């Protein structure tokens, strides 16, 4: 019995650790600061997401009216800036393209991005969205450092321009300049990843707010409970 338990335990450990290996895959990930309470950053990220990602991907767990509330926007502002005319404020963030068309065009259906920030991690996303590079062997003309042979085109090429992979140094260098500097592009991607972290776990905002009250409650409770405990035990010591 003991050996069976031991075997199961070892098996479990190796499964989890091999998954960790698979997600990082030896690639160096750049780190990004995430703050889902920063509404200005979330608003900028939402705009990029809606303009450049929602045409192919959906975020089917996210409703527009919930997003309005969490991002500090009115329903009207969201309707005007972040939604297609045909959508209603209570709708989820679905996609214009039909799944079977997408499959035909890209060979794969673009996955739903509702929880990608959790499955891949925010550092991975930050790295992925900044490391598309020219690869003439690919139909899309680009490849990606974090996701080899990815079926997604470099959709933000206008902003970032094109990078080329220097085989000798292993670094990505600018091939064609985009409309943004590297710093501006990194900041835009950080906001986008922040937004994706938010849609991965929207109730976290409420939880963070609640946590403050819980801590305050515990503190006040302690102020009451401690003198009480002392009073109760006074005669026993």
> Could you tell me which stretch among 24-32, 71-79, 147-155, 210-218 binds ligand HEC (CB under 6 A)?
147-155
**Which of these ranges, 28-36, 51-59, 75-83, 164-172, lies near ligand HEC under the rule CB under 6 A?**
51-59
Tell which positions 78-97 bind ligand HEC, by CB under 6 A.
Answer: none
Nearest distance in Å: CB 102, ligand HEC: 6
Using alpha carbons only, what angle is made at residue 113 by residues 69 and 178, rounded to the nearest 5 degrees? 95
Q: Which of residues 7-46 bind ligand HEC (CB under 6 A)?
A: none
Q: Evaluate whether 157 touches 178 at the Cβ level (below 8 Å).
A: yes
Q: Quick one: which of 32, 45, 46, 57 contacts ligand HEC (CB under 6 A)?
A: 57
> Which residue number, 19 or 206, has a Cβ lying nearer to ligand HEC?
19
Q: Does 56 bind ligand HEC (CB under 6 A)?
A: yes
Token output for 45: 């990220």
CA distance 81 to 83: 6
CA dihedral defined by 49, 161, 169, 32, rounded to 10 degrees?
-30
Binding flag, residue 120, ligand HEC (CB under 6 A)? yes
Q: Site for ligand HEC (CB under 6 A): how many residues?
A: 23
CB–CB of 151/124 below 8 Å? no
With contact defined as beta carbons under 8 Å apart, do 134 and 162 qualify?
A: yes
156 binds ligand HEC (CB under 6 A): yes
Interaction with ligand HEC in 174-203: which residues (CB under 6 A)?
A: 192
Q: In whole angstroms, give the CA distance from residue 43 to residue 97.
A: 24
Q: What minimum distance in Å lies between the beta carbon of 97 and ligand HEC?
A: 8
């Amino acid at each position: 019995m003991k050996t069976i338990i031991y075997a199961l335990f070892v098996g479990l450990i190796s499964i989890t650790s091999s998954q960790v290996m698979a997600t990082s895959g030896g690639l160096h990930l750049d780190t990004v600061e995430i703050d889902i309470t920063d509404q200005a950053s979330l608003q900028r990220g939402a705009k990029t997401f809606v303009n450049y990602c929602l045409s192919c991907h959906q975020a089917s767990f996210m409703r527009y009216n919930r997003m309005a509330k969490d991002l500090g926007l009115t329903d009207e502002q969201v309707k005007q800036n972040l939604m297609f005319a045909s959508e209603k404020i209570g709708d989820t963030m679905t996609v214009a393209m039909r799944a079977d068309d997408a499959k035909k065009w890209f060979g794969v259906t673009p996955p739903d991005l509702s929880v990608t920030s959790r499955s891949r991690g925010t550092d991975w996303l930050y790295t992925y969205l900044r490391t598309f590079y020219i690869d003439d062997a690919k139909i899309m003309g680009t490849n990606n450092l974090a996701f080899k042979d990815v079926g997604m085109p470099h959709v933000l090429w206008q902003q970032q321009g094109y990078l080329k992979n220097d085989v000798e140094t292993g670094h990505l260098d600018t091939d064609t300049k985009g409309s943004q500097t590297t710093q501006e592009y990194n900041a835009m991607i950080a906001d986008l990843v922040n937004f994706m972290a938010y849609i991965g776990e929207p109730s976290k905002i409420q939880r963070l707010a609640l946590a403050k009250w819980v801590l305050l409650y515990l503190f006040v409770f302690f102020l009451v409970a401690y003198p009480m405990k002392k009073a109760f035990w006074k005669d026993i010591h």
